[in-house]
Amino acid sequence: MIKNVIKLSLVAATAVAGISTASSAGKLEDAIKNTDLTGYVRYRYTDGSNDQNTSEGPFSRDPITNAPGAIEQTHQYRTVFDIKSKVNDMVTANLRTDLQGTITDETGDQDPNLLTFTHANFIFNTGFATITAGKQGVPTPFADALEQQGTGVVAVLPAGPVNIAAGWFFNTDVTSGNINADANSTDRPANAAPVGAHNLVALGVMGKASVVDFGVWLAKLSDGGDSNSVTDANSPDSNTSLEGAGATAINLNVGVNIGTLKIEVNHAQVAYDIDESLKTDKTTDDPTNTQTRVMGTIDAGTVQATIGVILTGEDGGDVTFGDTDAKANFDGRDFHASSTRDATIFNFKAAMPLGAVTLWAQHITTDDTDGQSAKDANGKDVETDATETSLGFNYAMTKNFSISGYYAQAEYINEKDSEETEDTYDKQRIEMKYTF
């Protein structure tokens, strides 16, 4: 319905504008007929609190930017339009607009404050490959292609039982935590560092053989780029230049589907290449963040159950390019594996469909966790063990409209200077979403 309204509005606008010739009007009408419009309208209410009267958990993420930080009471509105217009049999023009507005206790009921063109590209169907050139999503497991964009070229080539994807971006909005960090240094920044001025090259191979799905991705953030900096209050050298820093990322994924049983194994690794001039301690090795995930899911009809284990590396588990929704990362509501170091994480989840409503419950617990990167007065890692329990629902009222929500409670036990402290964090969300 909304598609027809917008297309009719375009035609009406053309008539009002007084197109002088039938030829011009005809061309515009043909363009409208060859245009496909999709997108969504979404409203979210998010609230968080804890027993210490603050809203920042050790693994928490801001509900607006998804960056590390506090959870606060927010109302978020978002409207996304994806417009694809066929130019000819080979070329399709693609445009994505994103309108966002956020209301908090501090901002009041203000107008939407962010309108961006997140995609503006041309898609070439050559017959042997599909090539997308221009501003587009970053298609790797280390980024969220729906939220993170770059300007470049991506080609997908079918080759027998596999698809080969290759991409080159000379500018992106991806970020990477700890890119200028020393894994063994006490002044290691824990904040995310912008590396958007660096070139990104990626190569992926995806395929299927019998009951096995597999994918291999390699991505390289080049050295160089703009001289950005990171500020960390705990660091004596807090403003460290990122010029000369790069990273190499590898992701391996294998999925096995046997009847109602699915087993997935994923290993992701991001190895940082840091110029010696950026290091406080010249003897330290460049950090390599890793995350290994094994998940098993069985669908018994009335209940779908998942059990899994996630391991993060001694240098850290941040295998994302700045967004915790990246496929390489294990993500909870308040808890995120990318924020842990040297952790063993267990995941249990069950979902029950009841007609149009699906109920679900999830429990996450950690063991042998060294927190993010801090050390106590004795130089020992601050151990942060966590549990998170969530209850949620999704109501598919119609094919295009749904209402969902959850309540999550996370408990963190911190051991620092031979003392233990315990914090409890609550987070709630209600979401309404219409797709078209």
* pLDDT tens-place string over residues 108-140: 566 666 778 899 999 999 999 999 999 999 888
173 pairs with which residues across the strands? none
Type of residue numbered 74: T
d(CA 171, CA 197) in angstroms, rounded, equals 5
115, 227: one domain: yes
27, 38: one domain: no
124, 12: one domain: no
Contacts of 196 (CB under 8 A, 6+ apart): 171, 172, 173, 174, 175, 225
Label residue 391 by pLDDT band (50, 70, 90).
very high
Sign of CA dihedral 84, 87, 89, 92: negative
Pairing of strands 288-299, 261-273: antiparallel
Q: CB–CB of 97/117 below 8 Å?
A: yes
Residue-level pLDDT at 67:
43
322, 198: one domain: yes
268, 303: one domain: yes
Residue-level pLDDT at 418:
62
Residue 342: pLDDT above 50? yes
Helix (H) or strand (E) holding 350: strand 344-354
Q: Is 83 exposed, middle or buried (0-12, 13-18, 19+ CB in 10 A)?
A: middle
Type of residue numbered 205: V
Residue-level pLDDT at 29:
66
1, 82: one domain: no
42 pairs with which residues across the strands? 78, 433
Residue-level pLDDT at 148:
84
User: DSSP strand E in 368-418: where?
Assistant: 383-396, 401-416
76, 18: one domain: no
Residue-level pLDDT at 181:
40
Torsion on CA atoms 278, 317, 384, 364, rounded to nearest 10: 160
304, 189: one domain: yes
Residue-level pLDDT at 247:
82
Helix (H) or strand (E) holding 294: strand 288-299
DSSP helix/strand/coil, 73: coil
**For tokens 């080049």, what's the residue?**
222
Q: Is 206 exposed, middle or buried (0-12, 13-18, 19+ CB in 10 A)?
A: middle
Neighbours of 247 (CB within 10 A): 26
Q: Which residue has the higher pLDDT, 376 or 92?
A: 92
Q: Is 20 exposed, middle or buried (0-12, 13-18, 19+ CB in 10 A)?
A: exposed
Type of residue numbered 229: S
**84-93 per-position pLDDT tens digit:** 999 999 999 9
209, 325: one domain: yes
Give the domain CATH number at 55: 2.40.160.10
Which tokens go with 282? 């010249």
282, 402: one domain: yes
Question: Which of 137, 42, 66, 43 minimizes the C-alpha distance to 329?
Answer: 66
**181-231 per-position pLDDT tens digit:** 433 333 333 333 444 456 789 999 999 999 999 999 999 887 644 434 333
d(CA 311, CA 366) in angstroms, rounded, equals 10
List the domain range (segments joined by +) for residue 191. 34-435
| Region for 153 from its dihedrals, namely left if φ exceeds 0, alpha if ψ lies in -120 to 50, beta otherwise | beta
User: How many structural domains are present in the chain?
Assistant: 2
15, 127: one domain: no
DSSP helix/strand/coil, 291: strand
**For tokens 């929500």, what's the residue?**
405
DSSP helix/strand/coil, 5: helix
202, 237: one domain: yes
